[in-house]
């Protein structure tokens, strides 16, 4: 259960999400405007993440969304480091982005919505 006094955890989560927004969220959102397929892929990843956090995390409604999303993103970031996948640099690159990068873009989409 989340302890209301855990302000440091929330601050850390926000830092993670802000960093991720710069590397994945904003570039992917720009690509999504240009390419409907990218938009659809990000939406599908966001929906899957929402289901995982809502249904797969006990008492998730008691934990701030930013903390849940940052924790999930940290796991994906570890997988990304292991895979050594290149970051899509241009909007065109996002059309061929791998699962890990699209998943992180989905995290950013949910973070912006919450």
The model's pLDDT over 67-114, given as tens digits with 9 standing for 90+, comes to 999 999 999 999 998 988 888 989 999 999 999 999 999 999 999 998
Beta carbons of 66 and 114 less than 8 angstroms apart: yes
Task: For tokens 């050594």, name the residue.
Answer: 84
pTM value?
A: 0.90
Beta carbons of 64 and 110 less than 8 angstroms apart: no
Instruction: Give the burial string for 42-76 (b: 16+ CB within 10 Å, else e).
Output: beebbeebbeebeeeeeeeeebbbbbbbbbbbeeb
Beta carbons of 85 and 98 less than 8 angstroms apart: yes
């Amino acid at each position: 259960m989340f302890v209301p006094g855990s302000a440091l955890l929330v601050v850390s989560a926000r830092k993670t999400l802000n960093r991720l927004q710069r590397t994945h969220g904003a570039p992917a959102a720009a690509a999504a405007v240009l390419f409907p397929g990218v938009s659809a892929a990000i939406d599908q990843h966001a929906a899957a993440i929402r289901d995982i956090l809502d249904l797969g995390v006990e008492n998730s409604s008691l934990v701030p969304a930013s903390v849940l999303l940052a924790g999930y993103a940290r796991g994906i970031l570890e997988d990304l480091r292991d895979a050594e996948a290149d970051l899509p640099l241009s909007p065109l690159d996002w059309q061929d982005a791998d699962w890990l990068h699209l998943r992180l873009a989905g995290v950013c989409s949910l973070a912006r919505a919450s």
